[in-house]
Structure 1
Amino acid sequence: MQDENPAGDALVAQHAVRLWSPDRTDLRRILASILLDDMATLRRKSLPPDMADGWDESTQLDEDGLGLDSLALLGVCSRVSQYFHLHEVGIEDYLFVRRTFGEWIEIVATSIGIRSERLTFQTSGGSGAPKPCTHEIAALLEEVDDHARRFSGCRRVLAFTPCHHIYGFLFSVALPRLLECPVADARAWSPGTLRQALQPGDLLIATPFLWRLLLTALGSFPPGVTGVSSTAPLPADLRADLETAGLDRLVEIYGSSETAGVGVRDKGESHFRLLPFWRLEPVTGELARMIGGAEIRLTPQDHLVFADGARFLPQGRRDGAVQIGGVNVFPAHVAEVVRRHPAVLDCAIRRDGEASRQRLKAFVALRPEGIGEEAVAKDLEQWMRERLSASERPVSVTYGSALPHDGMGKQIDW
């Protein structure tokens, strides 16, 4: 247990207040991102990221404008209140009464001006319902302060991730604010527009899934462009291909919605390094840090293998067992068995059905040179019968050419 440092905590808090001073442009971007995300969920389809470009402060959010009925509007109100902690100030009800985009920006700005100590993000919901993850703003900005030194030469941030997610917030809202550099949402830019716009000093914020798309679309990068990658492991071959294509530097961030950033791996480094405010507890394997004078400890979502007290490599997620008919079943094992079939390119396994009647379901991506879906389905059924128990065998199998992913490259349900 580290000694408490009230003076140091006070300095961090003052630093957070100084840094967390979003202007209306920041709030507009975050609110628009939350609204688009909720609207996409309600409509069960993705929406163009530049859809909000046509909104102004008079845009109606209800059925007379964006088309949100009273129930949908109530849901978005709750999410915005949760995100900015409006309930701690007591003005969350104004969101439901005042229904223009500009009024919502003003309500959030008023709340932040009175009290702003925490933000609550959500997980992607790829493994079920999204889970709220609350973070102290002082802790988030302590991380951003470290990144600001790492990217001090940045002249502009180009974001390819939604800014209301924790990764997008840290690198496309808080970091540009601290570096005092412009930021642009480049998700809707065409390859030609992006190719012409890229310039030395640009910092591109993307995920491994998006980095592969960018590499395919652009082919090469001009000198002096830096990239950041997070939310999923970056394949070594993709990193090598990006460097060959001229990307000057690619920095990987290891973390999650629950932890924020934990480690960083810069160009030429074989291991991630813990960010300076984290430390390893060698006996328990937990990670610990001080926030607001109190120590927090957590178990990372992956198995981390440490080379020393600061350098580590993730070695697979801590996937636990699920109960199917009272039997412990490991979805990762089932997926691995299915992947061994010669016609299978990849496989995802999830639980399906009500809690008391849950079984497993599978999404199987087939190799393009295979024998056809109907023939594979028959052969794969026999393959699973020979290798998996009744509780382990998926009762529903969906076939496709690739596993389903969202715009962030996160695997989604089917």
Structure 2
Amino acid sequence: MKSTRITNPVESLLLGHAGDRVCGVDRRAGEVTYADMREAVTAYAGRLRAAGVRPGCRSVVVSDDCVAAVTAVLALWWHGCVPILVHPMLRPAEIGFIVRDSEAEFAELNVSPGHRAALRAELDAIDAERRAARRIGLRTELGPAQAGPAAVPPARFGETDELLVQYTSGSTGRPRGVRHCLRAFHAVLRGVGSVLALTPDDIVLSTAKLSFGYGFGNSLLFPYAAGASSVLLDGPVDPYTVAAALEEHRPTVLFSVPRLYAGLLGLVEQGKAIGTGSLRLAVATGERLPEDLAARITETFDVPLLNGFGATEVLHTVVAAAVGPGKAGDPGSIGLPVPGVTATVRDDAGRPVGDEVPGRLHISAESAALGYLNRPEDNDRTFADGGVYTGDIAFRAAGGGFHHVGRSDDMLLLGGYKIAPAEIELVVRELPAVADCAVAGSTDSTGLEQATVYVVPRDPARPDEVRRAVRAALRAGLAPYKRPSRVEVIGELPVTVNGKLARFRLRGAAGAPAGDPRAGT
């Protein structure tokens, strides 16, 4: 029987915690207490109400990580709206797509003045389109805070009401909105939240951004539910900024991705001291964690390491394991299902397969999303057989641990972000100097995945010019996290006997001489 319990997530995240405890820290606001946050959230919710923002509507928050972004999300929930966090690194046209696709009725723009002008032009055009069609417009401004009656109580959500939409790349590069509900919110707190076991004394630092599923849980859901403190980093995050944040804030839990841990280890090798002494736990999720890298992390930083696996479609981590020297278990495994999660490996017909047999990874959990926005075919393919197909190929070892083999599609997993090769290829193919191109993943010297764009020039005599043009187009046309790390100019792309692109051959070409399309065959 379905639960009839209704509530608001803000009640779990703000109410009941000691008001004088710090909930958030950023470089602009400094330290903000739970009492400060409660006051700010109710005031913002009052402004939403006064401006006539409709409870239940979807609302986009364009912001880097900061206390203001968390305030906006919690206030939208308090008012009964559905937030959609979007990072300002996306181009105005990409943000405009999300606004149109989600039919958002309000947009909070917490961006720099220069970016605001270009973004406002895009959003004003959307507003004009809607009003011309006699539809609800797009509001981008709220009135000032006003003195008035006491704040209204938080809105109520049913367990399966839409609560949050997170956008993730599809295999074609067209972003898909993943619709989450309150049931999923409670499920991840009972699931991986119980594994993390945060307390009010914890200080959490996440390198993944709030606008992505991994970062949203790390910096908002888990610490706020525990009454802990969350350190929010704006701007680009690299090993140097992480090292500085570790020194300044002395977090007890670090959430990051394998390639940033590798970067920190690189700083250690250069002689830089990394202040990890305050850590009680390090978590690595978002991409494959090589065994030797896991060992180096735990040995160098002397901290327990939790390796996790998750997907936006299941809100956060669903399989996890403690890894590193001295940890019992299955070497190379991504772990076991967290509480409340059932993981199986299935064939193309949806039937479970035996141990050691690779197949499609299927997750059954209450954290499963309601589905995609406006993508019925994708819904049928992903949300099936009583759960979610993550798009990954895996096998279950005899001891119960799950091993990740790769993606079942061509998606790349780079630093925690899912990137569609088609999106990168579209930018490169627009160049007159490019005859053809393809993007493929490979591994670097640390075993981490990287992306390479292979380019066939129209004039083979000018490879350097083509390479420079491609790099310039990638900088202009793609957000930084979507740009491939390498550009290779080759004579022709490898194809199968049927004339289709043999992308698998390119995946093996990283160590071969540039220009050899047969590498990896």
TM-score scaled by length of structure 2? 0.49
**Could you say if the C-alpha distance between residues 235 and 385 of structure 1 is closer, same or farther in structure 2, counting changes exceeding 3 Å?**
closer
**Partner Cα separation in structure 2 for residue 94 and residue 27 of structure 1:** 28
The count of aligned residue pairs is 324
Q: Which residue of 2 aligns with 1:312?
A: 402
**Could you say if the C-alpha distance between residues 38 and 210 of structure 1 is closer, same or farther in structure 2, counting changes exceeding 3 Å?**
same
1:278–1:288 CA contact under 8 A, matched in 2: yes
Q: Does residue 303 of the first structure (1) align with residue 343 of the second (2)?
A: no
Q: Which residue of 1 aligns with 2:12?
A: 19
1:198–1:222 CA contact under 8 A, matched in 2: no
TM-superposed CA distance for 1:304, in Å, is 2.2
2:313–2:388 CA contact under 8 A, matched in 1: no
Q: Deviations over 1:366-386 (max 9, x none)?
A: 9xxxxx966xx9x97457569
Q: Which residue of 2 aligns with 1:134?
A: 179
**Could you say if the C-alpha distance between residues 191 and 172 of structure 1 is closer, same or farther in structure 2, counting changes exceeding 3 Å?**
closer
Q: Does residue 185 of the first structure (1) align with residue 232 of the second (2)?
A: yes
TM-superposed CA distance for 1:97, in Å, is 5.8
Please give the residue correspondences for 1:94-243 in structure 2 after superposition, counting only pairs within 5 Å.
96=139, 98-99=141-142, 113-115=155-157, 117=161, 118-124=163-169, 128-152=173-197, 155-186=202-233, 190=241, 193-197=244-248, 199=250, 202-217=252-267, 219-220=273-274, 221-222=276-277, 224-243=279-298
Amino acid at match of 1:226: L
**Partner Cα separation in structure 1 for residue 299 and residue 399 of structure 2:** 32
3-state DSSP class of the match of 1:163?
A: coil
TM-superposed CA distance for 1:313, in Å, is 1.4
* RMSD (CA atoms): 5.1
TM-superposed CA distance for 1:174, in Å, is 0.8
**Could you say if the C-alpha distance between residues 203 and 136 of structure 1 is closer, same or farther in structure 2, counting changes exceeding 3 Å?**
same
**Partner Cα separation in structure 1 for residue 145 and residue 307 of structure 2:** 36
TM-superposed CA distance for 1:122, in Å, is 0.8
Amino acid at match of 2:403: L
Amino acid at match of 2:258: P
Please give the residue correspondences for 1:369-408 in structure 2 after superposition, counting only pairs within 5 Å.
381=490, 384=493, 390-392=499-501
Q: Which stretch of the first structure deviates more once superposed, 226-235 or 146-155?
A: 146-155
Q: Deviations over 1:62-89 (max 9, x none)?
A: 989932324335769xxxxxxxxxxxxx
TM-superposed CA distance for 1:390, in Å, is 4.8
Structure 2 unmatched runs, 5+: 16-37, 42-65, 74-82, 95-107, 128-134, 353-361, 371-384, 413-419, 440-450, 455-461, 468-487, 512-521
**Partner Cα separation in structure 1 for residue 285 and residue 345 of structure 2:** 25
**Could you say if the C-alpha distance between residues 14 and 210 of structure 1 is closer, same or farther in structure 2, counting changes exceeding 3 Å?**
same
TM-superposed CA distance for 1:170, in Å, is 1.1
**Could you say if the C-alpha distance between residues 96 and 182 of structure 1 is closer, same or farther in structure 2, counting changes exceeding 3 Å?**
same
1:176–1:183 CA contact under 8 A, matched in 2: yes
**Could you say if the C-alpha distance between residues 182 and 314 of structure 1 is closer, same or farther in structure 2, counting changes exceeding 3 Å?**
same
**Partner Cα separation in structure 1 for residue 502 and residue 344 of structure 2:** 39
**Partner Cα separation in structure 2 for residue 34 and residue 291 of structure 1:** 18
**Could you say if the C-alpha distance between residues 310 and 179 of structure 1 is closer, same or farther in structure 2, counting changes exceeding 3 Å?**
farther
TM-superposed CA distance for 1:242, in Å, is 1.1
**Partner Cα separation in structure 1 for residue 387 and residue 14 of structure 2:** 29
1:123–1:130 CA contact under 8 A, matched in 2: yes
**Partner Cα separation in structure 1 for residue 153 and residue 141 of structure 2:** 15
Q: Which residue of 2 aligns with 1:406?
A: none
**Partner Cα separation in structure 2 for residue 391 and residue 353 of structure 1:** 17
Q: 2:120 aligns with which of 43, 46, 69?
A: 69
TM-superposed CA distance for 1:257, in Å, is 1.2
TM-superposed CA distance for 1:21, in Å, is 5.0
**Partner Cα separation in structure 2 for residue 180 and residue 385 of structure 1:** 55
TM-superposed CA distance for 1:142, in Å, is 1.6
**Could you say if the C-alpha distance between residues 265 and 219 of structure 1 is closer, same or farther in structure 2, counting changes exceeding 3 Å?**
farther
Q: Which residue of 2 aligns with 1:28?
A: 68
Q: 2:364 aligns with which of 257, 280, 288?
A: 288
**Partner Cα separation in structure 1 for residue 406 and residue 292 of structure 2:** 18
**Could you say if the C-alpha distance between residues 360 and 227 of structure 1 is closer, same or farther in structure 2, counting changes exceeding 3 Å?**
same
**Could you say if the C-alpha distance between residues 102 and 234 of structure 1 is closer, same or farther in structure 2, counting changes exceeding 3 Å?**
farther
**Partner Cα separation in structure 2 for residue 128 and residue 110 of structure 1:** 41
TM-superposed CA distance for 1:219, in Å, is 5.0
Q: Does residue 252 of the first structure (1) align with residue 307 of the second (2)?
A: yes
3-state DSSP class of the match of 2:390?
A: coil
**Partner Cα separation in structure 1 for residue 222 and residue 338 of structure 2:** 16
**Could you say if the C-alpha distance between residues 386 and 164 of structure 1 is closer, same or farther in structure 2, counting changes exceeding 3 Å?**
closer
Amino acid at match of 1:248: V
**Partner Cα separation in structure 1 for residue 144 and residue 284 of structure 2:** 32
Amino acid at match of 2:68: R
TM-superposed CA distance for 1:364, in Å, is 3.9
Amino acid at match of 1:307: A
**Partner Cα separation in structure 2 for residue 359 and residue 265 of structure 1:** 42
Please give the residue correspondences for 1:325-364 in structure 2 after superposition, counting only pairs within 5 Å.
350=422, 352=425, 360-362=437-439, 364=452
Percent identity between the two aligned chains: 14
3-state DSSP class of the match of 2:301?
A: coil
TM-superposed CA distance for 1:132, in Å, is 0.7
**Partner Cα separation in structure 2 for residue 309 and residue 75 of structure 1:** 54
Q: Which residue of 1 aligns with 2:318?
A: 262
**Partner Cα separation in structure 2 for residue 249 and residue 102 of structure 1:** 46
Q: Deviations over 1:157-180 (max 9, x none)?
A: 012121122111111101111111
**Partner Cα separation in structure 1 for residue 8 and residue 398 of structure 2:** 31
**Partner Cα separation in structure 2 for residue 219 and residue 365 of structure 1:** 36
Amino acid at match of 1:196: E
TM-superposed CA distance for 1:230, in Å, is 1.5
Amino acid at match of 1:288: S
1:133–1:257 CA contact under 8 A, matched in 2: yes
Q: Deviations over 1:258-300 (max 9, x none)?
A: 22232112232433111222224577244323579x9942222
TM-score scaled by length of structure 1? 0.60
**Partner Cα separation in structure 2 for residue 257 and residue 71 of structure 1:** 27
2:166–2:213 CA contact under 8 A, matched in 1: yes
**Partner Cα separation in structure 2 for residue 390 and residue 257 of structure 1:** 34
TM-superposed CA distance for 1:243, in Å, is 1.1
